[in-house]
Amino acid sequence: MKNMMIKRLSWIVALALGFATMSWAEVAANSNTVVAVQTPQPQTMPPQQTPLPPTTGQPAVPTVPVDPNAPAAQPTSLTPAIPPMVVDGVTAPVRDLSLQFKDVAPPPGSMVLRGVHPTSQVEFSVRSDEVVSNAMLNLTYTPSPSLIPVDSHIKVYMNDELMSVVPIYKEQLGKKTTYQVPLDSRYISDFNRIRLDFIGHYTAICENPANSVLWVDISKGSNLALTYQSLPLKNDLSHFPEPFFDGRDNRPMVLPIVFSATPDLEEQRAAAILASWFGVKAQWRGQSFKVLYNQLPDQHGIVFATNDKRPDFLRDYPPVQGPTVEMISHPDNPYVKLLLVLGRDDKDLVTAVKGIAQGNILFRGQSVGVDKVEQLLPRKPYDAPNWVRTDRPMTFAELQQYPEQLQASGGQLSPMDLNLNLPPDLFLLRSSGIDMNLKYRYTAPLLQDESRLNVSLNNQFMRAFPLRSVEKDNSSLMRLPIVQGLLDKDDELSIPALKLGATNQLRFDFSFSSIVGSTKEGLCQTQLPVTNHAIIDGSSTIDFSGYRHFLAMPDLRSFSNAGFPFSRMADLTDTVVMVMKAPKAEQVAALLSFTGHVGADTGYPALNVRLADDWSTVKGLDADLMLIGVIPPELRDDTKMSLLVNETLSWVKEPLIKRTYIPNTTPPDDEATPDSKTTITSEGAMAAIIGFQSPFNEQRSVIAMLADSSRGYELLNDALNDGGKRAAIFGSVAVIRESGVNSLRVGDVYYVGYLPWWERLWHSLETHPFLLAALAVFVVVLIAMMLWRALRGLSHRRLSPDERD
């Protein structure tokens, strides 16, 4: 009987365990299902990857903090392995991306985590048409040799969720170590932040967080390895411009543009307007356009077609009754979308593109018709949305690019930056400075110490304001100097240390002093660091009004940095682009790169740009000219030209005196006089940008973008999108080769804009100091003689007739 009861009890226990196991499996399965539904994550995951254990160049280091002598434990993937997604028989495309810390971490790319500043972070984003199926953080770090092993460690967070704890062992102290941290992709969203928190200890009691031995150096060689998987999308224009442009994607935008054949002028104009609008969206990312004739792109792209001119893959598409914008799937790949810009003729294409540029907020569904687009008010000079207004003071709130740009919190606050884009021809040389009314708030220090607000412009220190410990009106009226002098002990030396250009950056750096430990021996006194807050008030103002517009030309730096002189009118009303009669694909791409570049600079699409392919229609126009791929025969022998590229043949004029000038300065006219002309024949790729005065109007300019081959046009586009190469473009000639960019100032100098005669005189004398000194001496002597004669006459009149005898 007793044995029977024991046997029955054992059956009951076994059944209970079986039900418990089944219930747990069901709960786990249901939990996975709920996560998949609630988060926009992929249904497929790549096979699980096993990361490597930490390595230091020594034998394997234990990774389990409980037992330092235990065998190495390897991190494992946190997400399940699921087969790849398949739609219409096509497997979802997968791409791998490695984000290097030198590119995504705060400058200079490496991080030093300390006791008083233990936190740093990197950020990355995910496109709306992709999900991350696998993520791995590959850390390379060097811990301080004075840390206590195991007690010291690094916590890794992603979107405020703890992902892993990186232990620091005795064998790693003072040595470069690598460690892989798997990241759970279920916590990845559109915008993501990976935070590293350093927990460091160097003694068991009475620690000072400010001690210099508390540090760990995160190398710029660290990286974030991501596997992206494409998602199928609906043909819905309510999300436009996605997926053709996605603001979450920080890479340069690459957009294919498809024509049925060689495009005519109106087709090119429509594409140029659309390219400028996409440039407005891309902004600082950069943009390039791949032009295709009667070919399907292999990624999201734009297709221009009319009822009479269509690519072969749209031959059976029904005709349209007016300007139409439609989204369809790629015939061979359901994960790729095509935006069709359709019309009855070329004029409809221009109307459809203007509808995209100015009415896309109304887009929805798979297809929309653009009935009418009309401009209610004409644009004015220098009214580009990306530029600082020059007709009134501007508030900082108007200059902000995102909501929390001028706010900071933490123990040690990160600097706050504000960009100032000015018209390149704004004449500031005769100004004593720019007025700025600065208002700010901050956490008041407990004591009156060395806490201060440092203000700098273009990485040049300007002024420091003390942060007081009592409440006061924190408002300062300051002046941004155009040229700031540095004083030497013995001699007074004026150095042009600070100058406003077309692109400027104001930096506000709140520096708080804090006492977090005691320096007295035997006194154990520690204060926890407080969280400081600081904000630059959005009602602060800066005033660039009242200044004239005047600039020495040619100035290719103004073109490369701000699209000037074409950007003077944001919609390119005063611009005419000269193109080839039967342009090659790379020449059309150069046109689109130009308008995209100007759109990114101004923040407004080139709605009124004009195109021409016949030089006779351009002659006499009051407009700035852009020549792409061709120099008209009438200009090839012009004495104002300094360089010519014609297939394998090229020639260049070089100045009398070759010097390396500061980019924002202009050499004397005689030093820019050409004294040689050299002709070269070569098969190597080369491109060039040249500038000279228009032969039709002394206030207008001509800029030509030339290349000798398809590779030359690639070099040209890369130079306009690369910040380092763009900085090397200045003067009147920029030669672009595989080795980089070389610029020259050669040829005649002319001026655009207006100055009164007295300001023009002073401006002319500024570059001739000896003439200015001689003129000053002459004026002084002349005034002295006049005063002498006047005083002599006055003394004679005061004398009586007898005294004069």
Question: Residue 323: what pLDDT?
Answer: 96
Exposed / middle / buried, residue 647 (Cβ in 10 Å: 0-12, 13-18, 19+): exposed
Say if CB 300 and CB 327 are below 8 A apart.
no
For the chain, what is the mean pLDDT?
A: 80
Mean pLDDT of 314-336: 94
In angstroms, the CA 569 to CA 385 distance is: 11
Q: How confident is the model at residue 20, as a pLDDT?
A: 38
Instruction: Specify burial of residue 523 (Cβ count, 10 A radius: 0-12, 13-18, 19+).
Output: exposed
Longest dimension (CA), the chain: 163
Burial of 45 (0-12, 13-18, 19+ CB in 10 A): buried
What gap in Å lies between CA 209 and CA 149, rounded to an integer?
17
Cα 28 to Cα 69, 76, 80, 568, 571, distances in angstroms: 34, 19, 12, 63, 58
Q: pLDDT at position 45, please? A: 34
Which one has a higher pLDDT value, 301 or 800? 301
DSSP state of 74: P
Would you place residue 793 in the very low, low, confident or very high pLDDT band (cuts 50, 70, 90)? confident
Kindly state the percentage of the chain with pLDDT values over 90: 46
Alpha-carbon distance of 80 to 36, in angstroms, equals 12
DSSP 378: -
Percent of the chain with pLDDT over 70: 76
pLDDT of 514 above 80:
no
**pLDDT at position 763, please?**
66
The per-residue pLDDT for range 591-631, each reduced to its tens digit, is: 999 999 999 999 999 999 999 998 888 888 899 999 998 88
User: Above 90 in pLDDT, residue 306?
Assistant: yes
DSSP assigned state of 499 = -
For residue 514, what are the CA distances in angstroms to 455, 463, 511, 534? 20, 22, 10, 15
Looking at residue 259, its pLDDT comes to 97
What's the confidence (pLDDT) of residue 33?
31
In the prediction, which pLDDT does 18 show? 42
In this predicted model, which residue has the larger pLDDT, 443 or 448? 443
Residues paired with residue 536 on neighbouring β-strands, in sequence order: 440
> In this structure, how many other beta carbons lie within 10 angstroms of the beta carbon of residue 403?
8
* DSSP helix/strand/coil, 793: helix
429, 433, 436, 442: CA torsion to nearest 10: 120
DSSP strands (E only) in 497-584: 503-511, 532-536, 541-543, 550-553, 575-578
The β-bridge partners of 410 are 532
User: In the structure encoding, which two tokens stand for residue 285, read together?
Assistant: 């990312």
* pLDDT (tens digit per residue) in 28-78: 333 333 323 233 333 333 333 333 334 333 333 333 333 334 333 344 444
Count other Cβ atoms within 10 Å, centred on residue 535: 17
Please write the tens of the pLDDT for every residue from 206-258: 888 888 899 999 999 999 999 999 999 999 999 999 999 999 998 899 999 99
Instruction: Please state, in angstroms and rounded to a whole number, the distance separating the CA atoms of residues 669 and 764.
Output: 11
The structure tokens 């203007």 sit at 354
Look at strands 394-395 and 287-293 and give their pairing: unpaired
Higher pLDDT, 484 or 291: 291
The pLDDT value given to residue 218: 94
Measure the CA–CA gap between 644 and 720, rounded to whole angstroms. 19
DSSP string, 191-233: EEEEEEEEE--SSSSS--TT-TT-EEEEPTT-EEEEEEEE---
Distances (CA, A) of 279 to 96, 253, 254, 735: 26, 9, 11, 24
752-779 pLDDT, tens digit each: 998 887 777 776 666 666 777 787 888 8
Q: What is the pLDDT of residues 383-429, one digit of tens each?
A: 999 999 988 999 999 999 888 899 988 777 888 999 999 999 988 77
**Nearest-CA neighbor of 166 among 183, 158, 154?**
154
